[in-house]
Structure 1
Amino acid sequence: MGNGSKKEVMFERMREKKKEVKIVRKIVLIIALVMLLIGIGVGFFVYKYITGALQPIDPESEKVIQVEIPIGSGLNLIAGKLEEKGIIKDARIFKYYAKFNNESQFQAGSYGLTKAMTPDELIESLKTGKVYRTPVFTMTIPEGLKIEQIANIVDKKTGIPAADFIAYVNDEATIDLLIGKYPQIFTEEIKAETIKHPLEGYLFPATYPFYEEKPTLGTVVDEMVKATASNVTPYLDYLQKEEKSVHWLLTFASLLEEEATAQSDRQSIASVFYNRMKKDMPLQTDPTVLYALGGHKEKTLLKDLEVEDPYNTYKNKGLPPGPIASAGASSIEAVIDPAKTDYLFFLADSKGINHFATSYEVHLENKAKYIK
């Protein structure tokens, strides 16, 4: 083969490579254009979906839809209820829109909403607590009350006899009904023989609106239990991870509710109880003794500490069998997020101020100094 022929072959190969490169470039360009068009299409679809989700479902609708927002409801629960009722298109979009606008402080209540309302109108309504139905009456259950005390309030506000209330909340049929309705909240723990009142600690302290003059016993109790469920649901994942139950949480929180006088005290007292349990020390908290005795006393006597009862934390290590009162949200939160301390002791002075100590010697010094 001559030099001319070799050159021709070489040039031919170069021409073929150039063609291949051009073809590859065209393919890459086409793929890039297709991907760009797909990206634009997807982006346009997402944009249209989001803007559509932020429009009223039916701008012409005048039908009022009743929506109940339970006490303690978070944004997830509220958005889910609005979607469930058909008032918004997508709960996630509404939730992100509210978060983007730093809106989170919503009011519990019964709302009359329509499909014609915009997200801003819905948020404003939920923020201001504008209730379309005016309750016939409200009933306030303060923190730290026991079943008998709650029964007396119910008696005064609804006319339901306290004895009937106590009988209802202790009835096995009621307990089975609630276990079936709220399986994540109630466990067989409340049926233990050592439990004095199965629903002690499960009737959440709050102000409840009622829209009928004479609500049934079942309605009253269910409203309180529903509020408890709303307040403990955010902690279910934590409890599962720690292998703890709602019963454990409410029992622990009830001790803080009875002992604490301030928010900071709740977290510090929680740390004391955690530290004592880690060291296998009894909690030795007086409110459990009073609960065991079944009454209220201004001062716990030494002989009281000797009472043989599962609730007496001087005689028994760990938490009592169940809650000793209804704990509020701050006490529940303190169990989940206690202070980080080495405290093992505390006492309250005559002004209700708690004083903490890391050793028994310091605790005795505090006792001599503050307890007259």
Structure 2
Amino acid sequence: MDEGTQNTPEVTEPTPGRSPRGVRISAARIVGVLLILVIIAGAVAWLRFIHTVPVEGPTAYVDIRPGDSVTTLSQQVFALGMTSSPQALRWYWRLKRGGSLREGRYALKDVGSMEALYQLLASGPPLTVRVTFPEGYTVQQMATRLQEQAGISAAGFLKAARDDQGKLLEGHLFPDTYDVLYAGDAAEVVARMLGRFADVLPSDWVAQAAKRGLTGDQLVRVASIVEKETKYDADRPLVASVIFNRLAKKMLLQLDTTLGYVLPSQGGFYTYAELKYKSPYNTYLHPGLPPTSICNPGLASMNAAAHAPASTYYYFLAKPDGHCVFARTYAEHARNIQLYLAGGS
């Protein structure tokens, strides 16, 4: 090898491959693509999560009852086919930091988004229904009607309709028309009915009871009997006077209506054997008033009990037309029975 050759630098071929800068650019692109895919997947998941399907028809509602949880509610709307998951509403509720649930029925018609669903259930007005309790209804009848018309458990109402000693508040739940939350709180309905009773109670109620040697609750029992025994307001005061006259003479009241509280009659009549039915509500056997009211009286019967006129009547009879006829002696009463129950008017 000559000297010129020895001084010539060796030329080498470049190694195939990417430069570090090129590697960094490619990695950034991959990361970017992956990030875009993650964003797209997240967006798809979010859209699926908040997607709701509007529901229609008579079942397009949910009922939130006392003690229900957001989890239970979330499962309800999923069961209706409204959300994509049994947990969707629950997760959204937590995301929105929603508060506690409010009882009632909520109509879901035209609710087209998760946000609208949340706003309805978190702060929207629940449905209310108007329920009328006729005068003379018992607490049991009120409970049945409330369940049928307002979706409030009859058992829950009967549990709430008791005093501190567990005694049924018969006679003290004023029969009226009430707007109540559908599937709402039974205790709230009872409180309103008690409040209405206190509002309409004659101001001299306790004084009038004391004048007759009765407690306020005993006078309510009299009003409940008047309610059940009469059809027309004009007859109520004299019927009340008959009750007071018999009590004063320590006569048995002998009223079918008190027995009817515990023993249903056949067509409004009792057999001789049934009149011997052993119950403190059987005023054919037990003297004085029954142990509780036999219904929830209306205002006319309450006023009649509080302000019954003095009379000399000890008997009364409801004629076929519903009006009452009164008698001073049993002989007069027997004639009335013969006259009016034999088809007269």
Q: Deviation of residue 260 (structure 1)?
A: 0.8
Cα distance between partner residues in 2 of 1:233 and 1:363 = 32
1:135-284 alignment, distance < 5 Å: 136-170=128-162, 175-176=163-164, 198-210=168-180, 212-232=181-201, 234-239=203-208, 241-242=210-211, 244-284=214-254
Asked whether the equivalents of residues 206 and 215 of structure 2 are also in contact (C-alpha less than 8 Å), the reply is no
Give per-residue Cα distances to partners, 1:98-134, cap 9 Å, x unaligned: xxxxxxxxxxxxxxxxxxxxxxxxxxxxxxxxxxx99
| 3-state SS in 2 of match to 1:208 | strand
Give per-residue Cα distances to partners, 1:73-92, cap 9 Å, x unaligned: xxxxxxxxxxxxxxxxxxxx
Q: Deviation of residue 231 (structure 1)?
A: 1.9
Cα distance between partner residues in 2 of 1:342 and 1:216 = 48
Q: Deviation of residue 302 (structure 1)?
A: 2.1
Q: Deviation of residue 237 (structure 1)?
A: 4.8
Q: Deviation of residue 147 (structure 1)?
A: 1.6
Cα distance between partner residues in 2 of 1:323 and 1:332 = 12
Is 1:337 aligned with 2:307? Answer: yes
Aligned to 2:290: 320
1:281-296 alignment, distance < 5 Å: 281-293=251-263, 295-296=264-265
Cα distance between partner residues in 2 of 1:247 and 1:241 = 11
* Structure 2 unaligned blocks of 5 or more: 1-124
| 3-state SS in 2 of match to 1:302 | coil
| 3-state SS in 2 of match to 1:317 | coil
TM-score w.r.t. the length of structure 1 is 0.54
Q: What residue identity is the alignment partner of 1:229?
A: A
Is 1:356 aligned with 2:297? Answer: no
Cα distance between partner residues in 1 of 2:190 and 2:330 = 43
Asked whether the equivalents of residues 239 and 245 of structure 1 are also in contact (C-alpha less than 8 Å), the reply is no
Q: What residue identity is the alignment partner of 1:155?
A: Q
Q: Deviation of residue 160 (structure 1)?
A: 1.4
Q: What residue identity is the alignment partner of 1:292?
A: V
Asked whether the equivalents of residues 161 and 187 of structure 2 are also in contact (C-alpha less than 8 Å), the reply is no
Q: Which deviates further from its counterpart, 252-261 or 237-246?
A: 237-246
Runs of 4+ with deviation above 6 angstroms: none
Aligned to 1:300: 270
| 3-state SS in 2 of match to 1:316 | coil
Asked whether the equivalents of residues 152 and 162 of structure 1 are also in contact (C-alpha less than 8 Å), the reply is yes
Give per-residue Cα distances to partners, 1:264-283, cap 9 Å, x unaligned: 21101011111111111011
| 3-state SS in 2 of match to 1:209 | strand
Question: What is the identity percentage for the equivalent residue pairs of Structure 1 and Structure 2?
Answer: 32
For the aligned residue pairs, the C-alpha RMSD in angstroms reads: 2.3
Question: Larger % of helix: which?
Answer: 1
* Structure 1 unaligned blocks of 5 or more: 1-132, 177-187, 192-196
Q: Deviation of residue 307 (structure 1)?
A: 0.9
Cα distance between partner residues in 2 of 1:274 and 1:297 = 28
Larger Cα-atom Rg? 2
Q: What residue identity is the alignment partner of 1:218?
A: A
1:96-115 alignment, distance < 5 Å: none
Q: Deviation of residue 164 (structure 1)?
A: 2.7
Q: Deviation of residue 227 (structure 1)?
A: 0.9
Q: What residue identity is the alignment partner of 2:287?
A: K
Asked whether the equivalents of residues 160 and 190 of structure 2 are also in contact (C-alpha less than 8 Å), the reply is no
Cα distance between partner residues in 1 of 2:134 and 2:266 = 20
